[in-house]
Structure 1
Amino acid sequence: MSVVFNILNVALTPLSMIILSIIIIIIIIMLPFLYFKLLIYVKKLVYTENMTMKVVLITGAATGIGEQLAYEYAKRGARLSLVDIRKENLGAVADMARSLGSPDVIIIGADVTKLEDSKRFVDETMNHFGQLDHLVNNAGVIGVPTLVEDFPNFTKYTSIMETNFWGAAYGTLYAIPHLKNSKGRIIVVASACGWFPIPRLSIYNASKAAIISFFETLRIELGWSIGITIATPGFINTNLAWRVIEDEATMGRLPLGSAFECAKDIVKSACRGDMYVTNPSWVKVLFPCKVLFPELVDWGQRHIFELLPNPYKKKSN
């Protein structure tokens, strides 16, 4: 025991001084960053962008989150350019947006996967309004839930990447010069599946991961000239979500968020200048869980979505 005490007497004091010095150095290094974060936090508390008479272009605006985004911007007095491949469904959305406070709304039928259509809806927006302040890349599809090894062929799923990724990239390409002039903002509706993939949705997960990476890269390249807000919603109560649940019953075990609340959070965060927004907020807890306990998360998902081997299932001869 005396040997232990002697070691402690000799080693504990210098060791504690070393640990204390490291802590002090970390605090000194972190202080400027923490001060910067505090300033940003205070700014967000007192500042929000006034959208009155500003112009917002929303793709995929006929239903779901896109429709609710149109209503949220309308409540803030923004002028709207609503784009969807189903133009016939945009009329009712435009009427509701006007009744909620939007002074001017135009509707454009376009396919975001076509480069010429993307150029056209940006041009038509500029020709009508003469400016563009927010571009909301919302158009997206999910596809039929399928295990990768059960794919009939990959060509059946290329439309998911074309819509979700290229559909956002094309419109952004043509909108960038106009957004630079207005010091505007790009809002991209990705998905929490981009960083927390769900089984049977591999191509959808990949397309959303690609969106996140693309727009994070673009934000670095553009610097302060255009703001970018990346939205990563969880599973939201929309027609798309219900079609997935109808095709794969285990997807019904996922809690569904509100499209109204999701759109409200996205617009609030965009006007506040946030880099990221996740709705429902509890979904953010999944990210550290995946980082810290990846094996447990994978096992849990295999259990929830019935991907664990069934010991009672007879093997076919």
Structure 2
Amino acid sequence: MAMTSIHKLLNIVFPLMIIISILVILPPYLVFKLLSYIKRSMFTENVAGKVVLITGASSGIGEGLAYEYARRGAGLALVARREDFLRKSRGKIVAITSVAAWVPTPRATFYNASKAALVSFYETLRVECDSHIGITIVLPGLIESEMTVPDSLSKFQAKFLPPIESTRQCAEAIVHSACRGDMYLTEPSWSSSLFMLKLLCPELFDWFYRWNFMSGSKIDQL
């Protein structure tokens, strides 16, 4: 009974404390983030002469990253990914996931779940590695690849799909972001607004996705 009363009290007090804390902390935090972004943009990492390990470099975003890093003078090689070496060299990990990790796409249940698991894995790893290893989590939207050809996209039966970004443009954005030391990159950047819509207006978000993907059709996948 006592625990029930405590939780009822926390249900009222804790959200109020969080709101007040956000109102106090948010203004200086935003200033700090702006100054940090300006600093990272002015002093980006020079990857010339460094060795970059890229998995899945035969096509799509991986191939675009290989070309972009090579253009910047980096050496591309398959190397042993030893934790002690990464810590010593203050290495970087660029994790390519998907915007579907934050904004799940209907008819892609297992794909969404796998990408969300990847984001959770790398967020946890980033905390465990402290500042020794930089981890940039990339959440690309519709990027030119085998997954975004008309035959592949037709299975979603969407009434509306946003424009597809070129692989080269996405790769350039990823390399810039990794060199700045960003924690996250959503590419194209406007797709992050979908996450804000989902966070602030979940009912409106669900209604739009249901109308766009599921209206007039049966659920094919659970």
Q: How far off its partner does 1:122 sit?
A: 3.4
Q: How far off its partner does 1:32 sit?
A: 5.3
1:226 maps to which residue? 133
RMSD: 2.4
Q: Is the 8 A contact 1:229 1:277 kept in 2?
A: yes
2:51 maps to which residue? 55
Whole-Å separation in 2 of the counterparts to 1:302 and 1:288: 18
Q: Is the 8 A contact 1:49 1:272 kept in 2?
A: yes
Change beyond 3 A, Cα 1:239–1:26: closer
Aligned residues: 197
Q: Is the 8 A contact 1:245 1:252 kept in 2?
A: no
Change beyond 3 A, Cα 1:225–1:250: same
Counterpart check, 1:253 vs 2:160: yes
Whole-Å separation in 2 of the counterparts to 1:198 and 1:26: 33
Q: How far off its partner does 1:299 sit?
A: 1.5
Whichever of the two has the greater Rg, that structure is 1
1:208 maps to which residue? 115
1:191 maps to which residue? 98
1:76 maps to which residue? 72
Whole-Å separation in 1 of the counterparts to 2:38 and 2:27: 16
Paired AA for residue 286 in structure 1: L
Query: Residue by residue, what CA displacement relative to the aligned partner does 1:53-106 show, whole Å, maximum 9, x if unpaired?
Result: 10001001001111100011011100002xxxxxxxxxxxxxxxxxxxxxxxxx
Query: Residue by residue, what CA displacement relative to the aligned partner does 1:21-53 show, whole Å, maximum 9, x if unpaired?
Result: xx9x955x5565345324412311311101111
Q: Is the 8 A contact 2:106 2:156 kept in 1?
A: no
Change beyond 3 A, Cα 1:202–1:47: same
Counterpart check, 1:282 vs 2:193: no
Paired AA for residue 296 in structure 1: L
Whole-Å separation in 2 of the counterparts to 1:34 and 1:199: 34
Normalising by structure 2, we get a TM-score of 0.80
Counterpart check, 1:268 vs 2:176: yes
Secondary structure, in 3 states, of the residue corresponding to 2:52?
strand
Change beyond 3 A, Cα 1:245–1:51: same
Q: How far off its partner does 1:186 sit?
A: 0.3
2:5 maps to which residue? none
Q: How far off its partner does 1:239 sit?
A: 1.2
Match of 2:33 among 37, 49, 53: 37
Provide structure 1 residue ranges, at least 5 long, that are not aligned to the other structure. 1-22, 82-120, 124-173, 311-317
Counterpart check, 1:122 vs 2:118: no
Q: How far off its partner does 1:249 sit?
A: 5.6
> Which has the higher relative contact order, 1 or 2, with Cα contacts under 8 A spaced 6 or more apart?
2
Q: How far off its partner does 1:177 sit?
A: 2.4
Query: Residue by residue, what CA displacement relative to the aligned partner does 1:235-277 show, whole Å, maximum 9, x if unpaired?
Result: 112112225225x162583222221111110010000111011
1:298 maps to which residue? 206
Q: Which runs of 4+ in 1 moved over 4 A?
A: 29-32
Normalising by structure 1, we get a TM-score of 0.57
Identity %: 50
Provide structure 2 residue ranges, at least 5 long, that are not aligned to the other structure. 1-19
1:178 maps to which residue? 85
Whole-Å separation in 2 of the counterparts to 1:31 and 1:295: 29
Change beyond 3 A, Cα 1:305–1:297: same
Change beyond 3 A, Cα 1:293–1:36: closer
* 1:109-188 mapped onto 2 (5 Å cutoff): 121-123=78-80, 174-188=81-95
